[in-house]
């Protein structure tokens, strides 16, 4: 077989996602897509980010980049009617990347991007099939001629299938390769099989090797089946999703694509998360001044959360959704044992009402040790990262995680369960001199309250050892957690995808 090198120094990259910072955010997907687009642009690539325009949510937020009209309309023939979207544009802050916002009021003028209460909107399949069908049509009408069309999660999973079918012979897509990134296998875009006409593809594609899974139309499976390369958000998670426990029913499909599957640990926005310049902190510090700076941040946090201002008491922070996935069942079970120790706990987050109530009860029962804010507050999130001595993430599963990297950047030692991206970023101290070369936190493997409690107790003991803590903090703060390295690894994936497309053309399969 002839191998074709498809290397290009400057790539035309189109990223498609259902959300991106700073425009709309419900979770880590938005952080990744916004930061990756900016990082790729800073590497010298031509980047366009396409997202839905959730207009009411955008209008309610201040400080967003100016959004302008393009005058371009895109119409998609949905099964019962033609649907038209107008395309607006903006520039991604801190970069030259362009953002195209798909304005379609019937689909996207909602109070939330995906659903309200405990369920998704009933027309989510229609909404995001429309969005996926609009993306390549925007590329065609605006003559973007992408080298790479990078799709993210199930909301864009239809796009690789469209590139391999409806747009396979379309001018402007002759050399376009697709990449599908899985951010969380638990969310797959599973719908009634009779929604298949919404995709614009024939029923022949509804089969167990392409778009069907367990009797349903599955848009994430569609993306990973058709994409030229597949990625996910950490190396360990790439291994976990190929197993029955981690694959959520798609492990066999992922094992078939394992040679094309790459795990790339997310980076962080090191401009927004920088203890030397963070405007949300009461004091700034570096790797050389962290003791004094964190001491002032800790006192401020204790005062804000109405806890006694004891400098010597280890303070453990947690910023998280309060759900089973994040290990709150373990925390509640271990709490009586842990709160017998000399420590303080600060919680910030929202989630399952049962866990919210349990956290409130802990704060009421132990007012000098536990404080909680139910909801979200960006300034408090930063102040917890800076003011805490330890940060808790005992997740049941965690595709990547960002808070452990924020913690390491801020000199706060993480306590995590060894899964997904937590395993790839937190290097455990095990008591041996050898581990001090790279150790930056504490990990445990068994999903039990006892394993969690034992690891927290080890971390508390280490807080009392000044020399040991200095080593662990320095190891965490001096590692590069920025997006520059992660973005370069995505470029390597893009090059493999381009080579795959070029080889198919030589073989006459396109």
Q: Domain for residue 276, yes or no?
A: no
In 3D space, the residue among 43, 38, 13, 14 whose CA is nearest the CA of residue 96 turns out to be 38
Q: How far apart are CA 236 and CA 265, in angstroms?
A: 9
- Residues 494 and 473 reside in one and the same domain: no
- Residues 488 and 459 reside in one and the same domain: no
Quick one: pLDDT at residue 119? 84
Within 10 angstroms of residue 355's Cβ, the number of other Cβ atoms is 23
Quick one: pLDDT at residue 3? 45
- Residues 66 and 189 reside in one and the same domain: yes
3-state secondary structure of 230: strand
Quick one: pLDDT at residue 5? 47
426 near 447, Cβ under 8 Å? no
Neighbouring C-alpha atoms within 13 Å toward the C-beta of 211: 24
Q: Domain for residue 40, yes or no?
A: yes
Alpha-helical (H) ranges within 400-478 are: 403-409, 420-425, 449-463, 466-477
Q: Domain for residue 277, yes or no?
A: no
Q: Is 504 exposed, middle or buried (0-12, 13-18, 19+ CB in 10 A)?
A: middle
3-state secondary structure of 393: strand
DSSP string, 357-383: HHHHHHHHH-TTTEEEEES--HHHHHH
Q: How far apart are CA 319 and CA 414, in angstroms?
A: 12
> What are the backbone angles phi and psi of residue 13, rounded to the nearest 5°?
-115, 125
The model's pLDDT over 452-487, given as tens digits with 9 standing for 90+, comes to 999 999 999 999 999 999 999 999 999 999 998 999
Most distant pair of Cα atoms in the chain: their distance: 72
- Residues 208 and 300 reside in one and the same domain: no
Question: What is the pTM (predicted TM-score) of this model?
Answer: 0.92
3-state secondary structure of 163: helix
Residues forming a β-bridge with 317: 346, 391
Write 86-92 long-range contacts (CB < 8 A, 24+): 87/138, 87/142, 88/53, 90/23, 90/64, 90/65, 90/66, 91/65, 92/34, 92/37, 92/38, 92/41, 92/47, 92/49, 92/65
Give how far Cα 206 sits from Cα of 213, 216, 248, 324, Å: 9, 9, 19, 34
Q: Domain for residue 445, yes or no?
A: yes
- Residues 65 and 162 reside in one and the same domain: yes
Quick one: pLDDT at residue 509? 60
Residues forming a β-bridge with 98: 48, 91
Q: How far apart are CA 295 and CA 282, in angstroms?
A: 11
The model's pLDDT over 259-305, given as tens digits with 9 standing for 90+, comes to 999 999 999 988 889 999 999 999 999 999 999 999 999 999 999 99
Quick one: pLDDT at residue 508? 66
3-state secondary structure of 297: helix
Q: Domain for residue 156, yes or no?
A: yes
pLDDT (tens place) for every residue of the chain, 510 residues total = 444 444 568 999 999 999 999 999 888 899 899 999 999 999 999 999 999 999 988 888 888 999 999 999 999 999 999 999 999 999 999 899 999 999 999 999 998 999 987 789 999 999 999 999 999 999 999 999 999 999 999 999 999 999 999 999 899 999 999 999 999 999 999 999 999 999 999 999 999 999 999 999 999 999 999 999 999 999 999 999 999 999 999 999 999 999 999 999 999 988 889 999 999 999 999 999 999 999 999 999 999 999 999 999 999 999 999 999 999 999 999 999 999 999 999 999 998 999 999 999 999 999 999 999 999 898 999 999 999 999 999 999 999 999 999 999 999 999 999 999 999 999 999 888 899 999 999 999 999 999 999 999 999 999 999 999 999 999 999 999 999 899 999 999 999 999 999 998 777 665
Q: How far apart are CA 138 and CA 134, in angstroms?
A: 6
Q: How far apart are CA 122 and CA 111, in angstroms?
A: 14
Token pair of 486, please? 């992660």
- Residues 161 and 57 reside in one and the same domain: yes
- The percentage of residues in the chain with a pLDDT greater than 90, rounded to a whole number, is 89
3-state secondary structure of 322: strand
- Residues 461 and 491 reside in one and the same domain: no
- Residues 218 and 109 reside in one and the same domain: yes
- Residues 231 and 358 reside in one and the same domain: no
- DSSP letter for 395, please: -
Give how far Cα 283 sits from Cα of 279, 348, 380, Å: 9, 21, 14
Token pair of 428, please? 């455990």
Q: Domain for residue 446, yes or no?
A: yes
- DSSP letter for 493, please: H
CATH, residue 177: 3.40.50.2000
Q: Is the peptide bond before 22 cis (omega within 30 degrees of 0)?
A: yes
The model's pLDDT over 382-420, given as tens digits with 9 standing for 90+, comes to 999 999 999 999 999 999 999 999 999 999 999 999 999
Range of the structural domain that residue 339 is part of: 290-480
- Residues 230 and 260 reside in one and the same domain: yes
Within 10 angstroms of residue 306's Cβ, the number of other Cβ atoms is 10
Domain count, the chain: 2
78 near 44, Cβ under 8 Å? no
Q: Domain for residue 4, yes or no?
A: no
- Residues 488 and 427 reside in one and the same domain: no
- Residues 473 and 489 reside in one and the same domain: no
Q: Domain for residue 372, yes or no?
A: yes
Quick one: pLDDT at residue 117? 74
């Amino acid at each position: 077989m002839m191998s074709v090198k498809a290397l290009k120094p400057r790539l035309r990259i189109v990223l498609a996602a259902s959300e991106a910072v700073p425009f709309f955010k419900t979770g880590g997907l938005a952080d990744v897509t916004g930061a990756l687009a900016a990082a790729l642009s800073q590497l010298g690539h031509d980047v366009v980010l396409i997202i839905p325009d959730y207009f009411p949510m955008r209008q309610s937020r201040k400080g967003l980049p100016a959004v302008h009209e393009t005058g371009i309309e895109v119409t998609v023939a949905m099964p019962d009617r033609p649907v038209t979207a107008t395309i607006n544009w903006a520039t991604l802050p801190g970069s030259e990347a362009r953002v195209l916002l798909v304005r379609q009021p019937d689909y996207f003028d909602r109070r939330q991007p995906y659903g309200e209460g405990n369920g998704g909107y009933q027309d989510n399949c229609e909404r995001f099939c429309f969005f996926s069908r609009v993306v390549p049509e925007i590329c065609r009408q605006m003559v973007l001629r992408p080298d790479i069309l990078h799709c993210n999660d199930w909301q864009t999973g239809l796009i690789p299938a469209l590139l391999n079918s409806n747009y396979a012979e379309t001018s402007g897509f002759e050399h376009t390769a697709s990449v599908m990134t899985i951010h969380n296998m638990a969310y797959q875009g599973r719908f009634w099989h009779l929604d298949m006409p919404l995709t614009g593809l024939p029923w022949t594609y509804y089969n167990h090797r392409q778009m069907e899974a367990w009797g349903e139309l599955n848009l994430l499976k569609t993306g990973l089946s058709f994409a030229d390369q597949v990625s996910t958000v950490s190396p360990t998670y790439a291994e976990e999703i190929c197993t029955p426990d981690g694959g959520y029913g798609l492990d066999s499909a992922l094992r078939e694509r394992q040679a094309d599957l790459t795990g790339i640990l997310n980076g962080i926005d090191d401009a927004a998360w920088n203890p030397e310049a963070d405007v949300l902190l009461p004091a700034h510090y570096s790797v050389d001044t962290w003791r004094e700076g964190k001491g002032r941040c800790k006192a401020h946090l204790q005062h804000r959360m109405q806890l006694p201002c004891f400098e010597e008491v280890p303070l453990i922070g947690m910023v998280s959704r309060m759900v089973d996935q994040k290990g709150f069942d373990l925390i509640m079970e271990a709490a009586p044992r842990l709160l017998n120790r000399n420590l303080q706990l600060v919680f910030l987050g929202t989630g399952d009402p049962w866990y919210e109530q349990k956290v409130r009860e802990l704060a009421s029962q132990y007012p000098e040790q536990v404080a909680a804010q139910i909801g979200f507050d960006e300034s408090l999130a930063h102040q917890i990262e800076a003011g805490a001595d330890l940060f808790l993430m005992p997740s049941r599963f965690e595709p990547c995680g960002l808070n452990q990297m924020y913690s390491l950047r801020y000199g706060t030692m993480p306590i995590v369960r060894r899964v997904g991206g937590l395993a790839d970023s937190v290097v455990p101290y095990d008591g041996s001199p050898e581990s001090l070369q790279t150790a930056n936190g504490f990990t445990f493997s068994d999903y039990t309250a006892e394993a969690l409690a034992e690891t927290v107790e080890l971390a508390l003991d280490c807080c009392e050892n000044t020399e040991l803590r200095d080593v662990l903090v320095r190891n965490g703060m001096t590692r590069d957690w920025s997006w520059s390295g992660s973005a370069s690894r995505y470029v390597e994936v893009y090059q493999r995808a381009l080579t795959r497309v070029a080889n198919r053309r030589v073989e006459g399969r396109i």
